[in-house]
Homo-oligomer: A and B are copies of this chain.
Amino acid sequence: MTTPQTTRRIVLAARPHGEPVDSDFRFEEAELPALGERQVLLQTLDLSLDPYMRGRMSAAKSYAAPVEIGEVMVGATVSRVLESTDPAYAPGDVVLSYGGWQTHSVESTSHLRKVDPALAPVSTALGVLGMPGFTAYAGLLQIGKPQPGETVVVAAAAGPVGSAVGQIAKIHGARAVGIAGGPDKVAYVRDELGFDVAIDHRADDFVDQLAAATGDGIDVYFENVGGRVFDAVLPRMNPFGRIPVCGLVSQYNTTSLPEGPDRTGQLMGIVLSRSLTVRGFIQSEFVEAHHDAFLADAARWIADGSLRYREDVTDGLDNTLDAFRAMLTGASFGKTVVRIAE
């Protein structure tokens, strides 16, 4: 095998207005730099696509700097080491990296983590054993704090975060109510993931179904979608309810505020009168204190069957944009992964 000299990659060409279109991106071939000290040349095997990436495409103030125009799109990857100047990493090692939307990258080893191919398929390091799984674990347990018998509601329940939220809630003795889009996902959430109830948000009587499924109110709403699901959930929150906010995917592609009336004050009024906790978070704040426990817990739960997962795998870097749009609109089913190489 000859060592590759270039990487094929997708750079941000323009800031998307609404749903990202092909012309917001550009495919290009770029030279790979020579390895410096403690660096590795990586071949991307699997690229993770996640909702937060839509935020990085915008210039709005957020917790992370936006991707600059002309820069390669960011993203977590599972990659194979091809060359190394760090004795701790040998060619053939598989690592979790932040390689981005490209076929190869040169990375410093300080931020890499080795992935054990014997433990589970390596792509799970991007999903149930990776950032989405940890997002569910940390947000639910550290902010949501579900108690036995309480009701936990989560949307995008067939997705990588929502599916883990409901199953971890069940493991902790709570009732799990999942919201998903379409009969296939609803059946999967109920029958394969074992949620107590699964509801189709596209149903005409969605609000009534949610009310029937949460007769004792809602104690924890794990917010990852926003929009009309949030509208339906909020009036059903119980006193001292908790709302970890990890995403608002329904509004990431919106370009203007919705029509009025302005319900901000109404929202704050419910927060006040029900003593609710609404807490935005990113998983990174919990890594130091809780990531080791997560890996141990999640591996055990996967082994004993109480934590299941599903991947939606697209082949080839060329199809990344379509896969990204499908994830944002809910057309994907499971953790979205682009297989760049075997």
Chain A interface (Cβ < 8 Å from any Cβ of B)? 55, 60-63, 223, 226-227, 230, 239-240, 245-248, 251, 254, 256-282, 285
Contacts and interface: CB of A to CB of B under 8 A. Distances in A.
Given A271-B280, A273-B280, A261 B259 contact: yes
Contact of A266 (B61, B257, B274): B257
A261 B256 contact: yes
B279 A265 contact: no
B281 A279 contact: no
Nearest to A64: B273
A268 B279 CA distance: 9
A275 to B, nearest CB: 5
Q: Please state the number of chain copies in the assembly.
A: 2
A262 B265 contact: no
A265 to B, nearest CB: 5
B265 A254 contact: yes
A276 B245 CA distance: 9
A269 to B, nearest CB: 6
Interface centre among A55, A260, A273 (most CB of B within 10 A): A273
A247 B261 contact: no
Contacts of A262: 257-264
Given A239-B63, A245-B271, A271-B245, A265 B276 contact: no
A212 B230 CA distance: 35
Contact of A276 (B61, B264, B279): B279
